[in-house]
Structure 1
Amino acid sequence: MSKRKLSHTRNIQVQAFEREDGLWDIEAHLTDKKHFSLGTPDRELITSDDYLHDMCFRIALDLDMTIQEVEATMSDTPYLRCPDVLPNYQRLLGVVIGPGWQREIKQRLGATEGCTHLRELLGPMATVAYQAITDAVYRPIDYTENPQIFKPLVDSCYGLDAAGDVIPRLWPEFVEVKTN
């Protein structure tokens, strides 16, 4: 491997919390650091110890994956005007995470209507929401107890390819017999 020098680090953490009121908080935190000093028209000096971006994003969901609350903050941004876009994220209220999710985000918050960094967080937030909420809804259902619940997962990824070895072991009824 060639010698290399670290230039940029982005950290993203997404967590899900079950609330006492029945809602679920999905929280994301994004930070960007450059490993050299730079400046912007609004921040004269950003050193390697400073964040270029430091943003938090929280959505609260019900069990139907409908957004009930939205909160976003920007502690560090390259430009002073960046936080002015935060009120636009209230446009997510009432949106359901499901089919058409990415299209809905683009329609409501695309281009200059939103922040690229916060918009990018919504993909991982949706995945974490799905993981947390479906686990809670179906806990402690055994995979074989009610297989119809899991049928949408078949052929959703390589691991759950109906032609692979997992689906026949978990849900043999979902394996289609192919005839020539």
Structure 2
Amino acid sequence: MPLPPSKIAREPLHTRSIRVNSFAREDGQWDLEAELIDVKAYDFPLRDGATIHSAGDPIHHMHLRVTIDDQFQVTDAVADYDAAPYNENCSAIAPDYRSLVGMNLLRNFRQMVKDRFGRTAGCSHMTELSYLLPTVAIQTMANKRRQEQSAPGKQQKRPFQLEGCHALRLDGPIAKEFYPQWYKSPKVETKCE
């Protein structure tokens, strides 16, 4: 359901679009390709005062691709820029994002990225884009994990998504209906009198 319409008249100013696509590779790994585009809804003068940046032309347009294995380990990474406000001064950081290689998307990834690329050590927009990768990787692997779990003779492990959000808590209605073997009855609080 979309948000209800605003009750107050508004003027559009800025649009950030983020898209992440995932691909199964022939070599058994997966590519996650993330893209961020920022546009303004109005024309504005650039720093030189003479050049006008037109409404709808990207201010930021960047790409980040990571390759992961079946353990969510990053085996390759590449970053690139189509548009950045300070041109080559922004895009010069792109090769540094190669150091995502070796990180694991499910093991403290966001903190490791923050530690490695925080402040002047990285690009705030590229770093922000990388933060989306763990949950996209989980969605990418969902069918593979489902097939592994349903294989005959395979011992069932608790699905990793349980306890990952309020809807998937072990004492909630979703666990009770769809994951009854891991469901736990809610704790009843007793009042001391």
Length-normalised TM-score, structure 1: 0.88
Task: Choose from 81, 86, 99 the match for 1:79.
Answer: 86
Residue 153 of structure 1 and its aligned partner are, at CA, apart by: 2.6
What is the identity percentage for the equivalent residue pairs of Structure 1 and Structure 2? 28
Q: Residue 111 of structure 2 corresponds to which residue in structure 1?
A: 103
Q: Residue 35 of structure 2 corresponds to which residue in structure 1?
A: 29
Q: Secondary structure at the match of 2:31?
A: strand
Distance in 1 (CA, whole Å) between partners of 2:148 and 2:106 is 23
Listed one character per residue, the Cα deviations across residues 87-112 of structure 1 (whole Å, up to 9, x for unaligned) are 11011111111131111001111111
The equivalences for 1:100-179 within 5 A come to 100-139=108-147, 141-142=149-150, 146-150=155-159, 152-177=160-185, 178=187
Task: Choose from 53, 72, 76 the match for 1:46.
Answer: 53
Listed one character per residue, the Cα deviations across residues 1-22 of structure 1 (whole Å, up to 9, x for unaligned) are 1111100011111011000011
Residue 174 of structure 1 and its aligned partner are, at CA, apart by: 1.9
Length-normalised TM-score, structure 2: 0.83
Residue 25 of structure 1 and its aligned partner are, at CA, apart by: 0.4
Residues 1:66 and 2:66 are matched in the alignment:
no
Q: Residue 98 of structure 2 corresponds to which residue in structure 1?
A: 90
Q: Residue 14 of structure 1 corresponds to which residue in structure 2?
A: 20
Instruction: Rate the CA distance shift 1:93–1:140 in 2: closer, same or farther, 3 A.
Output: closer
Q: Which runs of 5+ in 1 are unaligned?
A: none
Question: How many residues of Structure 1 are paired with residues of Structure 2 in the alignment?
Answer: 178
Distance in 1 (CA, whole Å) between partners of 2:8 and 2:130 is 35
Q: Which runs of 5+ in 2 are unaligned?
A: 1-6
Q: Residue 4 of structure 2 corresponds to which residue in structure 1?
A: none
Q: Residue 3 of structure 2 corresponds to which residue in structure 1?
A: none
Instruction: Rate the CA distance shift 1:113–1:40 in 2: closer, same or farther, 3 A.
Output: farther
Amino acid at match of 1:104: M
The structure with higher relative contact order (CA 8 Å, sep 6+) is 1
Amino acid at match of 1:33: V
Q: Secondary structure at the match of 2:57?
A: coil
